[in-house]
Amino acid sequence: MVRAKEKTLPPEPMLQSISLWCYTLLWIVAIPFLPLNKRLREGYRRRLLHILPGEADLWIQAASVGESFLALELIKHLQPQIPIRVLLTTGTSQGLKILEDGAREYEQKNGKIKLGCTYFPFDKPGIMDKAMKTIRPSLVIILESEIWPGLLSVCKKTGIEVLLVNGRMTSKSLSRYMIWPSLWRRLGPDKILAMSEDDAGRFATLFGREKVAKIHNIKFDRVSSALAGAKDDNPLARLIKPETAFFVLGSVRQEEEKDITGLIGRILAQKPDAVIGVFPRHMHRLTHWQKILAGQGFSWQLRSDITEPVSKGLVILWDTMGELVSAYAVARAAFVGGSLAPLGGQNFLEPLTCGVYPVIGPHWRNFEWIGQEIIDQGLVHQVKDWCEAADCLLRIASQPVHRDGVRAALDEYVRNRRGGTEAACKVIRDMANRSFQATR
C-alpha cells in the first residue's frame, strides 16, 4: 500500500516541547524498574522493540481484554477492497492471547486481511518514533481511552492520522486533561467516535466539536454476536447436571471477598444442596481463597481437580481460565462481581447472553453505557449488599429456567443500539482511502 507523505507542522510551543522532554525523562527513569511488575515483565523485550513487529497499513491499539474483543469486532466488519496488513497491539498477556486466537481464526476464514499481534510498545517518545519507522502505518486506531502522549506526539510529527473509536471519557478524566488543554488539543486524535452523547460532549470540550461524532457502542454489536454464536456443546455440561442448583459468582474482586464469603454461607445455609462456583477476577488470589474456604469449613474443591459430576453442597474454586461463560450457560443463578465494592463492576452482559438474569451490587459505573433501562426492565437485578444478593440469587434459582426467553429479551434490548461497528469501519475506510489518495 502507498504511504502517506510526512506533513510539515508548525514548530511546537516551547512549553509543550519541555513537557514531552520531561515525559521522556520519566520513562528513562522508570523503564529499568518495570520488569519488577509481573504484568509488564511479560513481553518486556517486545515492549522495548528489541523484537520488532512487521510493517502494517493499519495499527489498532487495544488496552486489554475488553478492547481486544472490540478490535476483533472491527476486523470482522472491515471488509477492505484490497488486501491489507493490520497490526493489533495490547498491553496485557490476556489481551494478546485473545488477539492471537482471534487472528488465527479470522485468517482461516478470510485471507484478505493479514494480521500481526504483539505487545504495545512503552510510550517513551523515542520508542514510539522507532515503532512508527518500523510499522509505517497509514492510520492508527486507538480504542476507548488509549490516549498516550508519546504515540500521539510521534503521529503528529510524522503526519499519521489517529482515529479514536468507541471513545469514553469520565468527568474525572476530563478535569485532569483540562489542567493543560492546549497540550492535548495539539496532540489529540484527528477524529473521535464517542460511545455516548455524554462522552462526545467531554471529548468536544477537550479536543473541539469538529473532531467528534457519536456512534452506538460497539459492545452492543458484540452482544449480538454472542447471542448468534451460542453453542450447545458446553464442556461443563458433563460435570454440572441440569438438575443441579448451580450458582456462579463471577469475576470476584479482592475488595469484596469478605462479602462474597458471607454470601456463600447464606446460600448454603438456606440451600445446602447448592453447588457454588467462585471465579476470582485475578488468579493470584487463588491461594487466599483456598485459605478462606478452608477456614470457613466449606466443602470445596479446585476446578482443575474435578473430572466427574460434582456432588451437592460443594464450593468450586475456579483455577482454570476461559470457562466463565461456559459456567454461566449451565448456571441457575449468577452474581457478577466488582459491584459490591466501588470498583465499577464487571461484564454482566455475559450471563444474559447465556440466558441467566444476573445479580449485581450497587457499583457498575464501568457499564453505565448499557443504560439504566436494563435494570428498570428487569433484565438485571441490582441489590444494595451481599445479603440482598444471596436472597435474590436463591429466588432466581427457585424459579423455572427460561434461557431462550432471557436471550430474546436481551436481543430486543440491544436491537436499536446496534450498528456502531459498521459506522466505525466506514470512517476507517474513508480515512485510510484519503491517506492513500494523498500520495497519488
Q: Which helix (H) or strand (E) holds 312?
A: none
Cα first-last separation, the chain:
11
| Cα–Cα distance, 424 to 193 (Å, whole number) | 7
Q: Determine the average pLDDT of the residues in 60-78.
A: 93
Q: Determine the average pLDDT of the residues in 244-263.
A: 97
Q: Is the pLDDT of residue 256 over 50?
A: yes
Q: Is the pLDDT of residue 437 over 80?
A: no
Contact 298, 317 (CB under 8 A): no
Phi first, then psi, for residue 247 (nearest 5°) are -105, 130
All structural domains of the chain, each given as residue ranges with its CATH number in brackets, are 14-216+419-437 (3.40.50.11720), 231-415 (3.40.50.2000)
Contact 351, 334 (CB under 8 A): yes
Q: Which helix (H) or strand (E) holds 210?
A: none
User: pTM score, two decimals?
Assistant: 0.79
- Give residue 112's pLDDT: 83
Strand partners, 141: 60, 163
Beta-carbon contacts of 332 under 8 Å, excluding residues fewer than 6 positions away, are 244, 245, 246, 247, 356, 396, 397, 401
Give pLDDT tens digits for 43-66: 999 999 999 999 999 999 999 888
Give pLDDT tens digits for 400-425: 999 999 999 999 999 989 999 999 99
Measuring CA to CA, how many Å separate 60 from each of 63, 128, 245?
10, 14, 43
- Give residue 330's pLDDT: 96
Measuring CA to CA, how many Å separate 125 from each of 104, 150, 251?
31, 4, 36
